[in-house]
Amino acid sequence: MTVQQRYYLGAAAVILATFVGTVIAYPQLPSLVPLHWDVQGPLNSWGPKWSLFLYMPGLMVGILLMFVALPWLSPKRFEGNSFRPAYLYIMIVIVALLSYSQLLVLFSGLGMNMDVTRAIEGGICLLIALVGNVMGKVRRNFFVGIRTPWTLANEKVWDATHHFASKTMVVGGVLSMITVIAGTPFWFPLTAVLTSAFMPAIYSLIFYKDLERRGASSEAARPLLR
């Protein structure tokens, strides 16, 4: 079995476990279950319990199919073969976060008292840190990574930006998780996460313009398509 097959089977196993968990909890759930909370915590949306099968398991299947399709949709030489393990790692981390979110919704529907918004915030912060851990391994492509005009135009800018992003995303994810655990207002972790995402985009512009000023941007660039 190839590494790629293991990742896809792992994602499928997470989806199946989520579906089975929903089936087991289903008889104990009320006819209307909580589905959405606002950023400050209060519950603001209810729905029929059958919608739980569409709420996350359906989305998880969609994510898996999307990650299967993207290499095929990519132009030749940009299918992601050079960074396939990192690509598949990002896929399974996203699927795992969605499974975790479904678990929180089920627990809430079963009457367990918890701050779902805060728990989901923590999960997103962990996702940012985990994805940042492999961001430096992502090579230039059309679908995954920091895709600014400057990273797409120049391979050297892409590589430098993603090595920088691996640091900012890990640090931002960890710091934002600490603020979630500390019980700070929701905008503290939100600010940390957004900063970790915007800094690499700004960095890519600065790095590209520096290459341009030194007359090296055209030398370092390699067209996306030939």
pLDDT by residue (tens digit) across 185-195?
878 888 888 88
According to the model, what pLDDT value does residue 117 have? 83
pLDDT by residue (tens digit) across 157-171?
999 999 999 999 999
pLDDT by residue (tens digit) across 173-218?
999 999 888 888 878 888 888 888 889 999 999 999 998 888 765 5
Band (pLDDT 50/70/90 cuts) for residue 225 is: very low
User: 156 in the Ramachandran plot: left (φ > 0), alpha (ψ -120 to 50) or beta?
Assistant: alpha
Three-state SS at 214: coil
- Is the Cβ–Cβ distance between 60 and 100 less than 8 Å? no
Cα-based distances in Å from 188 to 145, 183, 220: 24, 10, 38
Over residues 89-115, mean pLDDT: 90
Cα separation of 146 and 158, whole Å? 8
According to the model, what pLDDT value does residue 17 have? 94
Cα-based distances in Å from 110 to 57, 59, 185: 18, 22, 27
Total-model pTM: 0.85
Which DSSP helix (H) or strand (E) runs through 48? strand 43-48
pLDDT at 226 over 70: no
Band (pLDDT 50/70/90 cuts) for residue 65 is: very high
The residue ranking higher by pLDDT, 199 or 78, is: 199
Q: Supply 127's token pair.
A: 């996702």
Band (pLDDT 50/70/90 cuts) for residue 137 is: very high
Give me the chain's average pLDDT, please. Answer: 86
**Furthest-apart CA atoms within the chain: distance in Å:** 67
Identify the burial level of 143 via C-beta atoms within 10 angstroms of its C-beta, where 0-12 means exposed, 13-18 middle and 19 or more buried.
middle
pLDDT at 2 over 70: yes
Amino acid at 65: L
